[in-house]
Amino acid sequence: MTATPTVAVAVGVGATATATVQIHDGAHWQPVCALTDLQPGRGVAVLLPEAGQVALFRDSSDGLYAVDNLDPFSGAPVLARGLLGSRGDRPTLTSPMYKQVYDLTDGRCLDEDTTPDGTPAVLRRWPVRVAGPGGAAFGDADLDGAALDGAVRDGAALDSAA
């Protein structure tokens, strides 16, 4: 099993007011909002065609994270309203429902291994990048092409970005 592509990206130099945040839905990069629409420290819920709700965050260091919006413990689509923080050097998301804390680098719940129904307490993560006019990705935010080839998300191989 190969590793999931990194979901945290640094916005970096060159990101302008016309920059667009994109999430890879398993088949294509989907533009979801302007970079300027994301306030550091706050999340937004994004509806991806065919994939459901994703919670998208921009942290105070301009890192971007995308995880499922559905809280695995409550079943409510509320994680976009969660609180960003850290444990050591790991960025975290605290659920607004029952306050479980998730590591944003791998999606694992740091408080409990399983949900009440016995399923693993892990959030699905989504590749995210920043693109400029015409869709060109900015530097280290680019996760398309070979970086996605053969990557695995929840047991399903991602196709090459299109």
**Does the pLDDT value for residue 40 go beyond 50?**
yes
pLDDT tens, position by position, 69-111: 999 999 999 999 999 999 999 999 999 999 999 999 999 999 9
Q: Which residue is associated with the tokens 């090459």?
A: 160
CA dihedral 137, 27, 90, 32 (to 10 degrees): 60
Spatial distance between the Cα atoms of 13 and 122, rounded to a whole number of angstroms:
32
pLDDT tens, position by position, 118-144: 999 999 999 999 998 766 676 433 333
Q: For the chain, what percent of residues have pLDDT higher than 90?
A: 67
The DSSP letter of residue 122 is B
* The dihedral sign for the CA sequence 40, 45, 48, 54: positive
Mean pLDDT check: name the lowest of 14-23, 113-122, 130-139, 141-150: 141-150
**Strand, helix or coil at 114?**
strand
**Does the pLDDT value for residue 161 go beyond 70?**
no
- Phi, psi of 155, deg, nearest 5: 85, -5
**Mean pLDDT on 16-25:** 86
In the predicted model, what is the mean pLDDT of the chain?
A: 80
pLDDT at 148: 37
Cβ atoms of 125 and 69 within 8 Å: the answer is no
Q: For the chain, what percent of residues have pLDDT higher than 70?
A: 72
**Does the pLDDT value for residue 158 go beyond 50?**
no
β-pairing, 52-58 vs 63-68, is: antiparallel
